[in-house]
Chains A and B, each alone.
Chain A
Amino acid sequence: MASQLKAWISIVLILGMGSIPARAETIRVTIEKMVFTPAVITAKVGDRIEWINKDIVDHTTTVKGGWDVVISSGKAATLQLEQAGPVDFYCRFHPNMKGRVTVTR
């Protein structure tokens, strides 16, 4: 009885997983010496980007008309990608720092 119940739970869990379009991933972007690495990213809706700032100054990841997140010096920040499409991001404090993420469904 117990093992039957366990099997049912497994099936439900598998079905449950199946309803999620794809497994969300976390992409890591490191900021060091005023550069986003990698600067060109491809991702899927639902994925997260973890921004790690190794510089001595604060940075932002900013998209015109979109997101704007401050990443303090020595800290990390995570952002979930909610919309498909290509977006150019930059640092609002240092606009010479740029990157691009292409988000697909």
Chain B
Amino acid sequence: MFSRTMTALAVLSLLGSISLAHAADKPTDPQIAHIAYTAGIIDIEAAKQAIAKSKNKDVVAFARDMMRDHEAVNTQALALVKKLKVTPEDNDTSRSLVKAATAERAKQDKFDGTAFDKAYVTNEVTYHKQVNGALETLLIPSAKNAELKSLLETGLKIFQGHEQHAEHVAAGLK
């Protein structure tokens, strides 16, 4: 529980630092594209782990929904950057996200059964909340290209749906 709280804090402070960077250092479109794509990949990896480990049908169904949606959004994102001739650019935010997610997956891997289900779904609520916060306060306002902005806005609505879906699944686990 303590380590989970610490991870949640780490994610919070990480995304907090994105917000702090806002005024001085807005991410560029190639960086935004990279961050959004990376955030999607992270959730797909978490979903794969859940599908492999969980025996709860609601949790597995939720994980499959996450995989399908994030793959669809990322496919769209790749098509867009190709069309715009933008090369996504790796950056500190993407690297921090990957680092935090790798640690989270390793932590969750140690859990089994209901403990795993709860850890996965709780983190899905937290993760979507944080990513949605970053989209709303930083990524969408910083995006210059109208099509990129529009895809991020659609993404935000989809991920807000995921956040609620995760909350419903979490409530069912109690």
B164 at interface (Cβ–Cβ under 8 A)? Answer: yes
- In the complex, chain B residues whose CB is within 8 Å of the CB of A94: 157-158, 160-162, 164-165
- In the complex, chain A residues whose CB is within 8 Å of the CB of B160: 94, 96
- In the complex, chain A residues whose CB is within 8 Å of the CB of B165: 92-95
- Inter-chain CA distance A34–B65, complex, in Å, is 15
A33 at interface (Cβ–Cβ under 8 A)? Answer: yes
Interface size classification for chain B: 10 to 19
Q: Are B76 and A56 neighbours in the complex by a CB distance under 8 Å?
A: yes
Q: Which among A34, A73, A95, A97 is the interface contact of B72 at CB below 8 angstroms?
A: A73
Q: Are B158 and A57 neighbours in the complex by a CB distance under 8 Å?
A: yes
- In the complex, chain B residues whose CB is within 8 Å of the CB of A58: 68-69, 72
Among residues of A, the one whose C-beta sits closest to the C-beta of B162 is A94
- Inter-chain CA distance A56–B40, complex, in Å, is 15
Whether A93 contacts B65 in the complex (CB less than 8 A), given A34-B158, A56-B154, comes out as yes
- In the complex, chain B residues whose CB is within 8 Å of the CB of A55: 154
Contact string against A for B residues 145-157, beta-carbon threshold 8 Å, 1 for contact and 0 otherwise? 0000000011001
Contact string against B for A residues 74-105, beta-carbon threshold 8 Å, 1 for contact and 0 otherwise? 00000000000000000111111100000000
B82 at interface (Cβ–Cβ under 8 A)? Answer: no
- Inter-chain CA distance A8–B123, complex, in Å, is 71
What's the least CB distance linking B139 to chain A, in Å?
17
- In the complex, chain A residues whose CB is within 8 Å of the CB of B158: 34, 57, 94
Q: Are A97 and B76 neighbours in the complex by a CB distance under 8 Å?
A: no
B14 at interface (Cβ–Cβ under 8 A)? Answer: no
B73 at interface (Cβ–Cβ under 8 A)? Answer: yes
Give B154-174 interface residues, CB cut-off 8 Å to A.
154, 157-158, 160-162, 164-165, 168
Give A42-59 interface residues, CB cut-off 8 Å to B.
55-58
Among residues of A, the one whose C-beta sits closest to the C-beta of B168 is A95
- Inter-chain CA distance A55–B72, complex, in Å, is 10
Q: Are A95 and B164 neighbours in the complex by a CB distance under 8 Å?
A: yes
Q: Are A97 and B161 neighbours in the complex by a CB distance under 8 Å?
A: yes
- In the complex, chain A residues whose CB is within 8 Å of the CB of B153: 33
- Inter-chain CA distance A34–B168, complex, in Å, is 18
- Inter-chain CA distance A55–B68, complex, in Å, is 13
Among residues of B, the one whose C-beta sits closest to the C-beta of A33 is B154
What's the least CB distance linking A94 to chain B, in Å?
3
Q: Are A93 and B161 neighbours in the complex by a CB distance under 8 Å?
A: yes
Give B48-94 interface residues, CB cut-off 8 Å to A.
65, 68-69, 72-73, 75-76
Whether A57 contacts B68 in the complex (CB less than 8 A), given A33-B154, A34-B154, comes out as yes
Q: Are B154 and A96 neighbours in the complex by a CB distance under 8 Å?
A: no
What's the least CB distance linking B170 to chain A, in Å?
13
